[in-house]
Amino acid sequence: MNALVAISDLVVDFRTRQGPVRALDGASLAVREGEKVGLVGESGSGKSTLAMALGRLLPPNAEWGSGELMVAGVSVRDLEGAALRRLRSHTLGYVFQDPIGTLDPTMRVARQLAAVMEAGAGAADVSSLLADVGLQDHHRIARSYPHELSGGMAQRVSIAMALAANPKLIVADEPTASLDASIRGQILDLLVSLCAAHGTALVLLSHDLRAIAHCCDRVAVMYGGRTVEVGATAEVFAEPVHPYTEALLRAAPGQERLGGRIEPIPGLPPILTGRAEGCAFEPRCRHRIDACALARPESSEIAARQVICHRAEERRPAAP
């Protein structure tokens, strides 16, 4: 399988009134064709910036620094005009957090769907597309306005729109965060099964570790604008190498036993204004050593994962 996405040492800053804020501080990630990759991180970790950078959709106050971002063999950074639109319309498909807000409130669903399909697509094509995303009642839904749909139905419509042009990669940014808990599972399942059926790669952004564990082959954990641990999902979650991954797993409620305690990570996530000179997680880390604050850790390969930590070698998991 070929690399569909290749990101290496990508740096992105945002200009703000209070000066520059660094969103990506040397992020690296590769996605192969048809692969499902999870991107985990808290708000401010840079995962949304990374996702938007894939389609060159960053807001105007963003500044691309050093590093490379290749999608399907072309450098996204230099794309302009028709080539950029082609990347967005044919190579990539986006699914966003608020499904009702991403649909035009003044247009019926059928018209919005027809607009993203090939010219000449008729009502039958719209119906079959809706049926594909599990909407049985497609006549009624095609005639509906977005506000008349439930969040779950609207997200199915958005997924249909993202898949309409048969893209190579779907980028889903917290696709279930605004939905009711009881239907999150089915929306994720739908997304994963459709991607599998079309051979489409998936980049799934979430702060919900369980969702990532459920859906993705590989996971990239982000902190302070860097991908601090990248590896096979099951292995990373079973035996995390990076202390942040470990701490994150312990902090999420749900996996503890009755009467057990979850262990919060002390302190707050960092806001970087420039290149981090040490490890960004150092102030909150239980395993920190003197070197962590002084030297910037580089990526190393440990047990088939990429880990950015000074102590990665000593934390190597026991061989299976």
User: CB 246 → another protein: shortest distance, Å?
Assistant: 12
User: CB 242 → another protein: shortest distance, Å?
Assistant: 14
Closer CB to another protein, 2 or 18, in the complex: 18
Closer CB to another protein, 79 or 232, in the complex: 79
SS percent in the chain: helix, strand, coil, step 5 = 35, 25, 40
User: CB 16 → another protein: shortest distance, Å?
Assistant: 8
Pairing assessment for the beta strands 74-75 and 92-95 based on DSSP bridges: unpaired
Q: What span, in angstroms and rounded, lies between the C-alpha atoms of 62 and 15?
A: 6
Q: What span, in angstroms and rounded, lies between the C-alpha atoms of 143 and 66?
A: 47
User: CB 153 → another protein: shortest distance, Å?
Assistant: 6
Closer CB to another protein, 22 or 310, in the complex: 22
Q: What span, in angstroms and rounded, lies between the C-alpha atoms of 79 and 91?
A: 13
Closer CB to another protein, 80 or 290, in the complex: 80
Describe the strand order of the beta sheet including 299-302 as a list of residue ranges: 92-95, 169-173, 201-206, 36-40, 218-223, 226-232, 305-308, 299-302
Contact 36, 202 (CB under 8 A): yes
Closer CB to another protein, 27 or 103, in the complex: 103
User: What is the token pair recorded at 234?
Assistant: 């099951």
User: CB 43 → another protein: shortest distance, Å?
Assistant: 6
Closer CB to another protein, 31 or 272, in the complex: 272
Contact 150, 25 (CB under 8 A): no
User: CB 311 → another protein: shortest distance, Å?
Assistant: 20
C-alpha distances (whole Å) from 58 to each of 15, 31, 47, 61 are: 12, 20, 12, 8
∠ CA 106-111-115 to the nearest 5 degrees?
115
